[in-house]
Amino acid sequence: MRSTAETLAAPALEVRRLTASYSSRPVLWDVDATFPMGALSAIVGPNGAGKSTLLKAALGLIATDAGQALIQGRPVKTSRDRVAYVPQRDAVDWDFPITVREVVEMGRYAQIGWVRRVQRSDQTLVADCLERVGMAAYASRQIGQLSGGQRQRVFIARALAQQAQVMVMDEPFAGVDARTEADILGLLQELRNEGRAVIVVHHDLGTVRAAFDWVLLLNVRAIAAGPVADVLTPETLRRAYGAAGGLETEEQEPRWAA
């Protein structure tokens, strides 16, 4: 048994020399990265950089060629209850016959057990999580009848219901409007302030600069990782995104990185 102090000191997620590939081409190459507890971290990089793959590999959802991932200092297999995963939104069938409440309840199943009845306390927790993402009014709706932003809120409510210390989200801001983005970001900051770790794949470098604490810049290899101000420099961005994208001079940042 580890002491609490040790657990707190261990990083939320640590990836060591991770290599992964679909068929033969490596999608992740020798990636080293750590993400601290109590921080809002971003994973950024161009399309196809392997961001989603990194999350899946770290959670043990796909086989890796080499390397390992530790959640709070322990292998994922023994610490699934410490991490909540929000997959990319378009990865599920939104016409599935299921209600909003049931989706959020899924976050409790691992704790409740796969056969036992859902307890009153779990129902209360599910209602609280829906309330927290502003979706309480929609609990009995079919998920197919929700807008994109509302679906994302439901996914986040499910992750909240898992009550995990580490939350890992794949592009929660993709295709949501400004208000939803602001709401979700506020919520993630609250979670960070509670001392949890929130790790988010995100494409908007502006938001990352303004609101995130920690960042991993990824393009197959880990280009740089650390506090946002240290990592997002013109030099590292050029290495991650290449010279394309309207660079006029050496010093200037790509237009889209401003």
Partner 1 sequence: MGSLIDLLPLAYPDAVVVVGAALLGMTAGALGVFAVLRERSLVGDALAHSALPGVAVAFLVTGAKDVGTLLAGAACAGIVGALMMVGIERTSRIRPDAAIGVVLSSFFSLGIVLLTYIASTNNANQAGLEKYLFGQAAGLLERDLIVMAILSAISLTLVALLFRALKTTLFDPNFAGSVGLPVRVLEVAMTALLVVAVIVGLRTVGAILMVAMLVVPTVAARQLAGRLAVVLPVSALIGAVVGVTGALLSARAELPTGPVIVLVGFLVVMACVLLAPGRGVIWRARKLARDRRRTLTEGVMVDIETAIHAGPPPTAAELALVSGRDPRVLRRVLRRLDREGMLARDGDRLHLSEIGAAAAHAVLERRNLWSAWLEHGWQLQLPDAREPNPSDLRASLGDHYADRLQALAVKES
Ligand X SMILES: Nc1ncnc2c1ncn2[C@@H]1O[C@H](COP(=O)(O)OP(=O)(O)OP(=O)(O)O)[C@@H](O)[C@H]1O
For ligand X, the binding residues (CB under 6 A) are 22, 27, 45, 47-53
Footprint of partner 1 on residues 93-112 (CB under 8 A)?
A: 93, 96-99, 102-103, 106, 109-110
Footprint of partner 1 on residues 26-45 (CB under 8 A)?
A: none
Stretch that binds Mg ion, among 29-37, 50-58, 97-105, 222-230 (CB under 5 A): 50-58
Contact partner, 258, from partner 1, ligand X, Mg ion, none, Cβ < 5-8 Å per class: none
Instruction: Print the binding letters for residues 176-195 with partner 1: x by CB under 8 A, - otherwise.
Output: --xxx--x------------
The answer to whether residue 52 forms part of the interface with Mg ion (CB under 5 A) is yes
Under 8 Å between Cβ of 153 and 133:
yes
The answer to whether residue 15 forms part of the interface with partner 1 (CB under 8 A) is no
Footprint of partner 1 on residues 114-133 (CB under 8 A)?
A: 114-115, 131, 133
Residues that bind partner 1 (CB under 8 A): 56, 59-61, 77, 80, 83-85, 87, 91-93, 96-99, 102-103, 106, 109-110, 114-115, 131, 133-138, 142, 147, 149-150, 153, 158, 162, 178-180, 183
